[in-house]
Structure 1
Amino acid sequence: MNIQTPITETQTLSSFRNEFAAMPRDSAPADKFNPQSILHVLLKIDTSAAPRLRFVALPSVVPDPPGEIESYAKKVAATVAFHSQSTLLPSPFDVLVTQQCWLMVELDRSANWQFTEGELGCTTKGKTSTNNFGLRHAYADGTLGELDEPVTKPGCRVVYFGVARRAAGRPGPGNPGSEFMNFHVQFLADNGERLSVIFDPDIKNEGPSIP
């Protein structure tokens, strides 16, 4: 199978150990998690610079109330081709957060990829903290995985988790409001072979601290 490992211009070698840490089930009581929105991020693959692949994040704030994150995730996962139309300016790779929210990541349906079976779809590069919590996977049959549960079904393209805390941040390198993540995905070939890839977006804050 001749597939290049996707690399983006924003990826760099880290000076610290990647912990591949699982998110805790719950947020810290002191953070008083009160999500203000559901941030739906569609991850697309830009092939315009082929053979080099580039990921593009298309974030949008959806109209569904934050309290309906479970039903929204099931709806998106069970729909053949769905994403919010209220798209904000795309980012090359990273995702900007400005408040406590549910962050849902959907893999573009036009590519043959999925979150890796048997693994968590998303982990953190830093050690486990309550900055992010409550990771769950949503499946095409309209069901949700349990908290802390790895991907158990093929074709998983949707995950979500809570963003509870970020330090005050600023644009540019060395942003203290940055939180580097690992997305664990597989590219699927027609012959059944799979290429597992981990890429590392920054879910970052560039303003006052959250909360």
Structure 2
Amino acid sequence: MIRGLYYKGEGQQRYLTIDEIATACRISSRKVKGWISQKILRRAEFGDNLVAVSEVLWFLLRNNMPVASSLLPPKTGKILFVTSNSAELHEKEVTFNHICKLFAENYNLVLAESTTLGRPAHLTILTFEPDVVIVFQRSFTKELVGTFDLLSGISNLKTILFVDRATKLAADNGLLAISADLVVSESLPLDQLSTKLSSFFKG
């Protein structure tokens, strides 16, 4: 899976003591000190016993560890990318990164997660609790329909579906069998895509 952390500006940065990290991660202070001495976690430049919260968050994310809500700043956004298979996740990595940067314009911190259609997507949606779900799918499958059935029952959740040009045309004519807040053609030029998504995220 591809995970990401997008932090908005050093001025928003926050630092944690060893004890605060231990409490948030539900481990001993000794364990945290071990991570720091092994340079698994990097100390802040101005304090031996302080670590940037972004450093702690990225460590937890890349090691698939739970993130305590106490570590998250106000205006934290969560975005989930869904594709049909794991190979496509890596093919779309540059696109994911671009979209996350657009999404982060409205937040202090953005957590990004990715998964594949079907049961993995359902579990991730329920545990990650994203604010926005973006699905890349060129054809209609039971997994796609099932995923959007689940998404339609979650309040305050925005959905984007990336499709091929023919499917986008069908959506424009009201012929799409599933409902997404925004349907986008994968062939849309980058500048037009950026404008469309920026407007959508701000809305």
Pair in the same fold by TM > 0.5: no
Find the structure with the greater CA-based Rg: 2
Which is strand-richer, 1 or 2? 1
- Greater relative contact order: 1 or 2 (C-alpha under 8 angstroms, separation 6 or more)? 1
Alignment TM-score, normalising by the size of structure 2: 0.23
